[in-house]
Amino acid sequence: MTTLLIAKQILMTIYSKYEVYITPLLKFLLALVALLLINSRLGYMESIDKSTVVLIVALMCSFMPMNFIVIMTALFTLLHLYSFSLECAAVVGAGFLLMFLLYFRFSPKDTLVVVLMPICFLMKIPYVVPLAMGLVGTPTSVVSVACGVIAYYMIHYVTQNVSVIAAMAGEETAAKFRFIIDGLLNNKEMVVTIVAFGITVILVYLIRRLSLDYAWTIAMAAGVVVDIMVLLVGDLMFETNVALFGVIAGNVAAFLLALVLQFFVFNVDYSRTEKVQFEDDEYYYYVKAVPKVTVAKPEKKVKQINSQKSKAVQKTKSTH
Amino acid sequence: MLNEKRIILMTKMASYEANEGKKNVAIGSFFRSDYIGWQVLKSIISATIAFVVVFGMYIFYDFEVFMMDIYKMDLIEFAKQVLRMYLWTIGVYAVISYVVYTVRYNRAVKSLKLYHMNLRRLSEMYRQ
């Protein structure tokens, strides 16, 4: 454990020292992965299905605010869909528009989940997102997670039915439109996944807020178990054809990932190196404030409380 | 002479101004009713656009049937029904945004109070 804590400290020191470079690099990587995945899955518009375009856009994303990645990925998806079929682009575009208008107006910080969710789905570990959102988010994160699931299933449905939609080329626009909307609204697998993830987020949030020892780990374990159960019960009720092994293995992987996240991300001090400028009548100040790094303080505290108590008890005994 | 305590306080305040405080200062520059009213109005506009999108998709979904039925159905009754649904959507969404932005305004004001207290402390340090 000590070596792990030391490793964490080293990482924290490196992060606070090179935060200026690491954050843009992470943003660049996220944008790159997201755009490459979109191009590999959809790739209908040749002009944006090029590595140079992806690289340039990812570079732009690295120094823009986080939400720029969301806008760019949405734009790439819509452009590809537009090249494939106008109706698909219209339906998916309407879906995106509703999400942005109705929900992300309230919590613009949560928009990243909509990008992360489809990426995690493609990596077969979507279960990590509700766990992580339950740990760091609030109960309202349920809506963000649901939006992420809907975004994935919209794209998934189109990629699954490419040949059918392409074969409908001669038919009327309204018929194609109806086919796509029917497919999306009657997708029971999507509904079951939303319900399972929603329950997971709320349960993880509720348990990790309890004043229990290891509340976070218990919350994660409970979240994983409930997630598996709801997905399997949903499979029995609506025949969603969920792969039993995939769900269990994915959830176990999600649990392990959440443990790593908890260790490296959630325990660290959130304050980072800050560079601030201000002035008064006498000076100009250019201050670089670096957070101090400390290890294992809580353990010491526990010992102190116990020893004080026992001393107090001894004192009272001696006076009697 | 550089005053260390003063620099620490100023650094903390500058960091607050640059991050969390930026939003709070913007919120705090409004009167309570102005801020909440403006946000609710923006929400109503968003909800209206969303309603139009959903309604448009609903009509387009069964466009042929709708065009055939349009001569048979009672248009005024249909319009009333749509209007009722629109008002419900707007109403529910406005109430939700009213609650959310009231909570946000109260939080911002609370945090700004602390910031102003620190400002006073700082100005006292200069007087000493």
CA distance A47 to B39: 40
Are B42 and A283 within 8 A, CB to CB? Answer: no
- The pLDDT of B64-88, averaged and rounded, is 86
Note the pTM of the prediction, 2 decimals.
0.79
Q: How confident is the model at residue A303 (pLDDT cuts 50, 70, 90)?
A: low
**Number of independent structural domains in chain B:** 1
Structural domain that includes position A111: 85-268
Residue of chain A nearest B16, judged by CA positions: A276
CA distance A208 to A136: 10
pLDDT value at A296 more than 60:
no
Bridge partners of A274? Answer: A289
The complex's ipTM works out to 0.77
Residue A301 lies in a domain: no
* pLDDT digit string, tens, across residues A30-73: 999 999 998 988 888 888 888 899 999 999 999 888 889 999 99
| Amino acid of residue A43 | G
pLDDT of residue A60: 92
Residue A121 lies in a domain: yes
**Number of independent structural domains in chain A:** 1
Are B53 and A177 within 8 A, CB to CB? Answer: no
Are A181 and B100 within 8 A, CB to CB? Answer: no
* pLDDT digit string, tens, across residues A2-33: 777 777 778 777 877 787 888 899 999 999 99
Residue A53 lies in a domain: no
pLDDT of residue A292: 59
Q: CB contact, 8 Å: A277 with chain B?
A: yes
Query: Which among A102, A178, A276 has CB closest to B46?
Result: A102
- The pLDDT of A126-130, averaged and rounded, is 91
Structural domain that includes position B83: 4-127
Distances (CA, A) of A112 to A30, A68, A148, B95: 10, 10, 9, 26
pLDDT value at A299 more than 50:
no
Mean pLDDT taken over chain A: 82
Distances (CA, A) of A72 to A49, A53, A111: 14, 12, 12
pLDDT of residue A267: 55
Residue A169 lies in a domain: yes
Residue matched to tokens 């969303």: B50
Query: Which among B7, B50, B63 has CB closest to A287?
Result: B7
Residue A207 lies in a domain: yes
Residue A199 lies in a domain: yes
Structure tokens at A302: 């526990």
Bridge partners of A277? Answer: A286
* pLDDT digit string, tens, across residues A202-220: 999 999 888 777 788 889 9
Q: Which residue has the higher pLDDT, A278 or A298?
A: A278
Residue A261 lies in a domain: yes
Residue A69 lies in a domain: no
* pLDDT digit string, tens, across residues A282-291: 788 888 776 6
Q: Which residue has the higher pLDDT, B42 or A162?
A: B42
Q: Residue A92 in contact with residue A73, Cβ under 8 Å?
A: no
Q: Residue A214 in contact with residue A176, Cβ under 8 Å?
A: no
| pLDDT cut 70: percent of chain A above it | 87
Q: How confident is the model at residue A306 (pLDDT cuts 50, 70, 90)?
A: low
pLDDT of residue A140: 85
